[in-house]
Amino acid sequence: MEVGIDKIAFYTPKYYLDLVELAQARDVDPNKFTIGIGQDQQAVIPNYEDAVTMGVNAANQILTDDNRQSIGQLYFGTESGVDNSKSAAIFAAKLLNLSPYIRAMEVKEACYGGTFALMMARDYVKLHPDQKVLVLAADVARYGLDTPGEVTQGGGGIAMLVSAQPKLAVIEDESVFASRDVADFWRPVDRMAALVDGHLSTEIYKEMFADLWQRYQKQTQAEIGNFAAFAFHLPYTKMGKKALDEIIDQADEQQAERLLEALKASQAYARRVGNLYTGSLYLSLLSLLQQDAALQAGDRLALFSYGSGAEAELFTLKLQKDFKQIIAQQKVEEALDARQRLSVAEYEADFQKQLYDSSQNVESDYPKDSQDAVFTGWRDGQRI
Ligand code: HMG
């Protein structure tokens, strides 16, 4: 039985920072950010948004009332969870008005958590084909002001509905994965921003991709020409190019040109949003599906998921007959164009306004007329 992604949606807050302005403020050549790193803009996350609100606001774009009743499980991949004990999925299930008779669980392993959630969803639906599973992957990617990681910040949420006979793409059975204990990026529980050895993380990412591609080829006899595109976890868009470069010499000239075009299509949204951590690979997928007009039903895509620490997986999708109609329902470019640009000073002030202290009864700056899920503030230690 075929199981996979039936629908996908993306949400990011309505503010962004222009990275040429950031480069000027940090006394860096703007070409380093726009060419060397491959980022033009980055999402700025106000103090009334968090992983829960962004996951919920993505899901509300695709869930029908019927879906809300037929979802049997909710898996939430995040590394910026809002509570050290309670699952982000429990907050989300209530806000989404799902049935109480579900499992609502949070998954954590850096940026890989969303992929684990997706794989668990596929396995569950294989056993329970009459049910659907909602997968959320949402994060705030924050390194701190004037750090080397600053240019790779961002944030947003992805929602995917996993079902039997999916309309968008089948998740194929064969995949390869690996775990390695590496100190490339981590966040001790007393910190709100990650610590990172950026150059090491880039190297480990590339090594794990090359290793898993080789393993996948051995296991399945696949060749690079079997895939219409590769989509990558994109902490910054240049990372996708670095990864593809690891294997591109296996392609003939025509295939290589095609894969580079597809890569560019997959990078378009990440260039404007930045890293989403768990959702980042799926924003690349959405970008690829919307921006690459050459893709056809039946095409196979290879996806590479990487989470620092580290965990990685290479898996494949097969595009379904109606994928173009399904994907056309998402208005991502319009949403990105409608965002409000913040000055560097406003972006820096946003850091000071974050509400990390649960001992204070405080309200966030949430818009009082918002139709979206918002974090309104702390009351008696509870996150409202
Ligand atoms: P850096 O030291 O500021 O930058 O760190 P750099 O000196 O390495 O330069 C970056 C690139 O810009 C280089 O190109 C330069 O040549 C180029 P490359 O050699 O890489 O191809 N450059 C220029 N290009 C044009 N004009 C110029 C110019 N100057 C320099 N004038 C780094 C960059 C990405 C390491 C840093 O921003 C960082 O630490 N970011 C956070 C970590 C990260 O994103 N790691 C990625 C892999 S790990 C991962 O994906 C997991 C993660 O998502 C977390 C999770 O799993 O939860 C991060």
Ligand 1 nearest atom to the CA of residue 310, by list position: 56
Question: Mapping DSSP to helix (H, G, I), strand (E, B) and coil, where does residue 180 land?
Answer: coil
In angstroms, what is the span from residue 30 Cα to ligand 1's centroid? Answer: 14
Complex ipTM: 0.98
Closest CA to 21 of 36, 41, 37: 41
pLDDT computed for residue 130 by the predictor = 95
- Residue 103: CB within 6 Å of ligand 1? no
* Given the residues 79, 106, 109, 150, the one annotated as active site: 79
In angstroms, what is the span from residue 17 Cα to ligand 1's centroid? Answer: 18
Q: Concatenated DSSP letters for 279-340?
A: GHHHHHHHHHHHH-TT--TT-EEEEEEEETTTEEEEEEEEE-TTHHHHHHT--HHHHHHTPE
In angstroms, what is the span from residue 37 Cα to ligand 1's centroid? Answer: 6
pLDDT computed for residue 81 by the predictor = 93
* Given the residues 109, 233, 311, 313, the one annotated as active site: 233
In angstroms, what is the span from residue 207 Cα to ligand 1's centroid? Answer: 16
105 class by beta-carbon count within 10 Å (0-12 exposed, 13-18 middle, 19+ buried): middle
CB 244 within 8 A of CB 259: yes
Average pLDDT over the chain, rounded to an integer: 97
Ligand 1, atom 3, lies closest to the CA of 148
pLDDT computed for residue 162 by the predictor = 98
Taking the C-alpha atoms of residue 156 and residue 53, their distance in angstroms, rounded to an integer, is: 9
Binning pLDDT at 50, 70 and 90, where does residue 82 land?
A: very high
Tokens 């390695």 correspond to what residue? 180
CB 57 within 8 A of CB 372: yes
- Residue 306: CB within 6 Å of ligand 1? yes
> Average pLDDT of 148-176?
98
CB 275 within 8 A of CB 19: no
In the numeric block, which tokens belong to residue 261? Answer: 């075009």
Per residue in 317-362, pLDDT (tens digit) is 999 999 999 999 999 999 999 999 999 999 999 999 999 999 999 9
- Residue 232: CB within 6 Å of ligand 1? no
Q: Is the pLDDT of residue 192 over 90?
A: no
In angstroms, what is the span from residue 142 Cα to ligand 1's centroid? Answer: 15
> Average pLDDT of 200-220?
98
Per residue in 249-258, pLDDT (tens digit) is 999 999 999 9
For 289, phi then psi, to 5°, come to -65, -30
Q: Catalytic: 79? A: yes
Ligand 1 nearest atom to the CA of residue 233, by list position: 50
* Given the residues 49, 106, 109, 111, the one annotated as active site: 111
Please report, in angstroms and rounded to a whole number, the separation of the first and last CA atoms in the chain. 41
> Average pLDDT of 133-157?
97
